[in-house]
């Protein structure tokens, strides 16, 4: 299998413990085109029993910042997790350097706050007169740390796991981090010109960073992957705008949809991260982007399960878009009965190997004939 990046072809790195790694990637490549090789994509992981690698002992950290930025810890825990996990169906071992969803904003000069499970950017533009100082730099300490982590994971993952791109949020999410979300709401009304100018700059930098990482991964014979878990030879990424839950459809279409559309045009494939019921007002606008491949609908805690949101998935399929699903095994029958299998990428949670085998046998029977919607 070959992957295209920066105008050249490269043979992908095999995963030593998974003989059919190439077929698993081929299924995921086909999924972007809403095609099925032999069955829909179904990724399943289960803990390896007994564990084959001791989990690294917890280290004492004076500050949560030290925990997040400890590259050795990231590598050691990743290697242990991969070796202690069995990857079934189309699942493939992968890792990505994680500074939190607002790490991208830190590359432009924001400082970071570190929590136990996530991080936040501290707003760094308090007045639009300061916006000129908000600039990306390869000397930025957070960018250098991300590069350090990426290289360390690439080295440790040789033959063991794929290394992906960090969770990068340009567009509205970056500006919300620079200014604070509530302040950005006012800016859309009071400073529209400044918003557009900074958006243009941020999105140009983002496009350059994508090219940088696609080339880096290709040079190390990596497919492209990141936090949603899709592993593909295509140049793909995750357009998103979590800030959009705070604004109207008109404001979203005016300020942010053009940048999302342009991001999709830069890519061979894309899955939009649509986060929360308040963001559903933007779904129709997103479905009108011809280059957008797939929707990942995140309904949120306390909002039911995937099988409770069939109308949303049907809207996506009616617009000829793929969907990414995260399911419990008992949801599979209703999903198969009500949706078409083409373009479905699903990760299914199971309790054990027997349940995993049963799920895969069921998925092999999923054909379009039962659904005419």
pLDDT of residue 9: 52
Whether residue 310 is contained in a domain is answered as yes
Whether residue 259 is contained in a domain is answered as yes
Whether residue 373 is contained in a domain is answered as no
> Interhelix angle for 181-190 vs 192-219, to 10°?
120
pLDDT of residue 373: 45
- 340: containing domain: 2-55+62-368
Scanning the structure block, which residue is given the tokens 């379009």? 368
Residue-wise pLDDT tens for the chain (373 aa)?
444 333 335 699 999 999 999 999 999 999 999 999 999 999 999 999 888 888 888 889 999 999 999 999 999 999 999 999 999 999 999 999 999 999 999 999 999 999 999 999 999 999 999 999 999 999 999 999 999 999 999 999 999 999 999 999 999 999 999 999 999 999 999 999 999 999 999 999 999 999 999 999 999 999 999 999 999 999 999 999 999 999 999 999 999 999 999 999 999 999 999 999 999 999 999 999 999 999 999 999 999 999 999 999 999 999 999 999 999 999 999 999 999 999 999 999 999 999 999 999 999 999 864 454 4
Q: Are 213 and 154 in contact (CB under 8 A)?
A: no
The span from the CA of 145 to the CA of 149, in Å, is 6
Q: Are 264 and 237 in contact (CB under 8 A)?
A: no
Listed in sequence order, the residues at least 6 apart from 320 whose beta carbon sits closer than 8 Å to its beta carbon are 34
Domain count, the chain: 1
CATH of the domain at 110: 3.20.20.210
Q: Between the CA of residue 106 and those of 132, 163, 178, 259, 308, what are the distances in Å?
A: 15, 22, 9, 20, 37
59: DSSP letter? P
Scanning the structure block, which residue is given the tokens 């092999």? 364
Burial of 217 (0-12, 13-18, 19+ CB in 10 A): buried
Q: Both tokens of residue 256?
A: 């942010």
pLDDT of residue 230: 98
| pTM for the full predicted model | 0.95
Q: Both tokens of residue 229?
A: 């878990």
Where do runs of H (alpha helix) occur along 253-341? 257-266, 283-287, 310-318, 332-338
Backbone torsions φ then ψ of 93, nearest 5 degrees? -70, 130
């Amino acid at each position: 299998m070959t992957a295209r990046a920066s105008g050249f072809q490269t043979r992908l790195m095999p995963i030593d413990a998974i003989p059919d790694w190439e077929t698993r990637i081929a299924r995921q490549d086909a999924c972007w085109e809403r095609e099925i090789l032999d069955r829909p994509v179904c990724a399943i992981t289960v803990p390896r029993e007994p564990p084959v690698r001791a989990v690294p002992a917890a280290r004492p950290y004076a500050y949560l910042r030290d925990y997040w930025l400890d590259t050795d810890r990231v590598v050691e825990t990743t290697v242990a997790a991969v070796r202690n996990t069995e990857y079934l169906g189309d699942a493939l071992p992968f890792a990505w350097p994680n500074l939190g969803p607002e790490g991208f904003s830190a590359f432009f000069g924001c400082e970071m706050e570190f929590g136990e499970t996530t991080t936040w950017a501290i707003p760094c533009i308090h007045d639009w007169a300061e916006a000129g100082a908000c600039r990306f730099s390869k000397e930025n300490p957070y960018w250098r740390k991300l590069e350090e982590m990426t290289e360390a994971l690439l080295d440790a993952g040789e033959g063991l796991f794929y290394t992906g791109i960090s969770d990068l949020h340009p567009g509205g999410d970056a500006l919300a981090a620079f200014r604070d979300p509530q302040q950005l709401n006012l800016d859309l009304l009071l400073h529209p010109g400044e918003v557009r100018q900074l958006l243009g700059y941020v999105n140009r930098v983002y496009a350059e960073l994508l090219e940088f990482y696609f080339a880096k991964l290709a040079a190390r014979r990596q497919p492209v992957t990141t936090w949603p878990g899709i592993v593909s030879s295509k140049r793909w990424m995750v357009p998103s705008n979590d800030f959009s839950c705070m604004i109207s459809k008109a404001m979203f279409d005016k300020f942010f949809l053009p940048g999302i559309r342009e991001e999709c045009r830069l890519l061979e494939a894309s899955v939009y991260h649509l986060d929360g019921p308040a963001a559903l007002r933007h779904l129709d606008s997103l479905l009108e982007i011809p280059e957008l491949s797939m929707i990942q609908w995140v309904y949120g805690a306390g909002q039911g399960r995937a099988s409770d949101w069939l109308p949303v998935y049907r809207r996506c399929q009616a617009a000829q878009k793929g969907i990414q699903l995260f399911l419990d095994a008992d949801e599979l029958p209703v999903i198969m009965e009500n949706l078409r299998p083409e373009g479905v990428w699903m990760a299914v949670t199971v309790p054990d190997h027997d349940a995993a085998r049963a799920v895969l046998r069921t998925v092999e029977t999923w054909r379009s004939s039962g659904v005419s919607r």
